[in-house]
Chains A and B, each alone.
Chain A
Amino acid sequence: MPASAEYAASGSTTRSLDALAHVLEALAGRSLSVQWLTDDPGSSATSRPILRADAVLLPPSGSPDQHLAAIAHAAAHLLFSRPAQATGKLKPMGIAMASAIEDARVEHLLIKRYPGLRALLLQQARIACQQAQGPDGSFADLVARLNLALLDPSYATDDYWVSKGRQLFNAHESSLDDHATLRNVASVLANDLGQMRVRMNLQGYAVPCRHGDDNSYLWQYEHTSEHSLASVDTAPTRAGTPAGAGDTTPQAQELARYSYPEWDYRLDRHRQRWTTVIERAFVAPAMRAPRVSIRPTALDHRVRLRRQWEGEDIDLDAATELMIDRRTGSLGDARIHRRSGRSPRHHSLLLLLDLSTSANDVVDGRTVLSLECQAALALVAAARANRDRVAVHGFSSNTREQVDYWRLSEFGSAEPAALELSLASVRACHSTRIGAAIRHAAANLSTEHHGSRHLVLLSDGEASDVDVFDTNYLREDAAAAVREARRAGIHVFCLALDSQAGPALGRIFGHGNTRSVLRPSALPLALRQLHEQLGRA
Chain B
Amino acid sequence: MDLSDYRLSAEPYYRPVGHEIALYEHAYAHRLPLILKGPTGCGKTRFVEYMAWRLGKPLITLACNEDMTAADLVGRFLLDADGTRWHDGPLTVAARYGAICYLDEVVEARQDTTVVIHPLTDTRRNLPLERKGEVVHAHPDFQLVVSYNPGYQSGAKSLKPSTRQRFAALEFDYPDAAAEIEILAHEARIDRTLAATLVDIARHSRALRTRGLDEGISTRMLIYAGVLIRDGLPAAESCHMAMTSAITDDPDLRQALQDIVNACLG
A, B bound = yes
Tell me if A530 and B264 are in contact (CB < 8 A).
Answer: no
Is the C-beta of A264 less than 8 angstroms from some C-beta in chain B? no
The chain B residue with its CB closest to the CB of A306 is B69
Tell me if B156 and A533 are in contact (CB < 8 A).
Answer: yes
Give the interface segment out of B27-35, B49-57, B75-83. B75-83
How far is it, in angstroms, between the C-alpha of A331 and the C-alpha of B155 when the chains are bound?
45
Q: Which residue of A317, A324, A515 is within 8 Å of B71 (Cβ)?
A: A317
Tell me if B266 and A114 are in contact (CB < 8 A).
Answer: yes
Tell me if A491 and B66 are in contact (CB < 8 A).
Answer: no
Is the C-beta of A521 less than 8 angstroms from some C-beta in chain B? yes
- Type the 1/0 row for B148-177, where 1 means its CB is closer than 8 Å to any CB of A: 001011111110000000000000000000
Provide the residues of chain A in CB contact with B252, threshold 8 Å. Answer: 15-16, 18-19, 22
How far is it, in angstroms, between the C-alpha of A327 and the C-alpha of B86 when the chains are bound?
16
Contacts of A510-534 to chain B: CB distance below 8 A: 510, 512-515, 518-519, 521-522, 525-526, 529-530, 533-534
Contacts of B149-208 to chain A: CB distance below 8 A: 150, 152-158, 204-205, 207-208
How far is it, in angstroms, between the C-alpha of A294 and the C-alpha of B230 when the chains are bound?
55
Tell me if A533 and B84 are in contact (CB < 8 A).
Answer: no
Q: Which residue of B83, B154, B204 is within 8 Å of A27 (Cβ)?
A: B204
Is the C-beta of A323 less than 8 angstroms from some C-beta in chain B? yes
Is the C-beta of B250 less than 8 angstroms from some C-beta in chain A? yes
Provide the residues of chain B in CB contact with A530, threshold 8 Å. Answer: 154
Provide the residues of chain B in CB contact with A116, threshold 8 Å. Answer: 261-266
Tell me if A68 and B84 are in contact (CB < 8 A).
Answer: no
Tell me if A320 and B77 are in contact (CB < 8 A).
Answer: yes
Provide the residues of chain A in CB contact with B262, threshold 8 Å. Answer: 116-117, 120
How far is it, in angstroms, between the C-alpha of A212 and the C-alpha of B219 when the chains are bound?
36
Tell me if A23 and B214 are in contact (CB < 8 A).
Answer: no
Given that A1-B265, A302-B66 are contacting pairs, would A512 and B153 also be in contact in the complex, using a CB cutoff of 8 Å?
A: yes
Is the C-beta of B62 less than 8 angstroms from some C-beta in chain A? no
Given that A27-B263, A320-B84, A530-B154 are contacting pairs, would A519 and B210 also be in contact in the complex, using a CB cutoff of 8 Å?
A: yes
Tell me if A316 and B266 are in contact (CB < 8 A).
Answer: no
Chain A interface residue count, CB cutoff 8 Å, equals: 55
Is the C-beta of A118 less than 8 angstroms from some C-beta in chain B? yes
Provide the residues of chain A in CB contact with B157, threshold 8 Å. Answer: 533, 536-537
Q: Which residue of B67, B251, B260 is within 8 Å of A23 (Cβ)?
A: B260
Given that A15-B255, A317-B71, A324-B84 are contacting pairs, would A513 and B264 also be in contact in the complex, using a CB cutoff of 8 Å?
A: no
Chain A-chain B contacts (Cβ-Cβ < 8 Å), number: 133
Tell me if A510 and B250 are in contact (CB < 8 A).
Answer: no
The chain A residue with its CB closest to the CB of B77 is A320
Is the C-beta of B23 less than 8 angstroms from some C-beta in chain A? no
Provide the residues of chain B in CB contact with A510, threshold 8 Å. Answer: 155
Q: How far is the CB of A520 from chain B (nearest CB, A)?
A: 10
Is the C-beta of A25 less than 8 angstroms from some C-beta in chain B? yes
Q: How far is the CB of A119 from chain B (nearest CB, A)?
A: 8
Provide the residues of chain A in CB contact with B156, threshold 8 Å. Answer: 491, 493, 533-534, 536-537
Provide the residues of chain B in CB contact with A316, threshold 8 Å. Answer: 71, 76, 78
Q: How far is the CB of B122 from chain A (nearest CB, A)?
A: 23
Is the C-beta of A13 less than 8 angstroms from some C-beta in chain B? yes
Is the C-beta of A286 less than 8 angstroms from some C-beta in chain B? no
Provide the residues of chain A in CB contact with B63, threshold 8 Å. Answer: none
Tell me if B265 and A519 are in contact (CB < 8 A).
Answer: no
Tell me if B154 and A521 are in contact (CB < 8 A).
Answer: no
How far is it, in angstroms, between the C-alpha of A510 and the C-alpha of B153 when the chains are bound?
13
How far is it, in angstroms, between the C-alpha of A1 and the C-alpha of B262 when the chains are bound?
11
How far is it, in angstroms, between the C-alpha of A320 and the C-alpha of B80 when the chains are bound?
10
Tell me if B155 and A512 are in contact (CB < 8 A).
Answer: yes
Tell me if B154 and A25 are in contact (CB < 8 A).
Answer: no
Is the C-beta of A92 less than 8 angstroms from some C-beta in chain B? no
Provide the residues of chain A in CB contact with B210, threshold 8 Å. Answer: 25, 31, 518-519, 522
Contacts of A301-331 to chain B: CB distance below 8 A: 302, 304, 316-317, 319-321, 323-324, 327
How far is it, in angstroms, between the C-alpha of A534 and the C-alpha of B155 when the chains are bound?
9
Is the C-beta of A115 less than 8 angstroms from some C-beta in chain B? yes
Given that A25-B211, A317-B71, A526-B212 are contacting pairs, would A536 and B66 also be in contact in the complex, using a CB cutoff of 8 Å?
A: yes
Tell me if A1 and B208 are in contact (CB < 8 A).
Answer: no
Provide the residues of chain A in CB contact with B261, threshold 8 Å. Answer: 116
Provide the residues of chain B in CB contact with A22, threshold 8 Å. Answer: 208, 211, 252-253, 255-257
- Type the 1/0 row for B80-112, where 1 means its CB is closer than 8 Å to any CB of A: 000110000000000000000000000000000
Is the C-beta of B259 less than 8 angstroms from some C-beta in chain A? yes
How far is it, in angstroms, between the C-alpha of A530 and the C-alpha of B157 when the chains are bound?
11
Provide the residues of chain B in CB contact with A323, threshold 8 Å. Answer: 79, 84
Is the C-beta of A3 less than 8 angstroms from some C-beta in chain B? yes
Can you list 21 pairs linking A and B with CB atoms under 8 Å apart? A1-B235, A15-B259, A16-B251, A16-B255, A19-B251, A22-B257, A25-B210, A114-B264, A115-B265, A120-B262, A304-B67, A324-B77, A324-B84, A510-B155, A513-B154, A519-B211, A522-B212, A526-B212, A529-B152, A530-B154, A537-B156
Other A-B pairs beyond A117-B266, A493-B156, 7, CB < 8 Å: A26-B205, A31-B210, A72-B263, A324-B84, A491-B156, A514-B155, A529-B214
The 9 A-B residue pairs with the shortest CB-CB distance, nearest first, are A115-B266, A513-B155, A22-B256, A537-B156, A522-B212, A19-B252, A116-B266, A525-B212, A114-B263
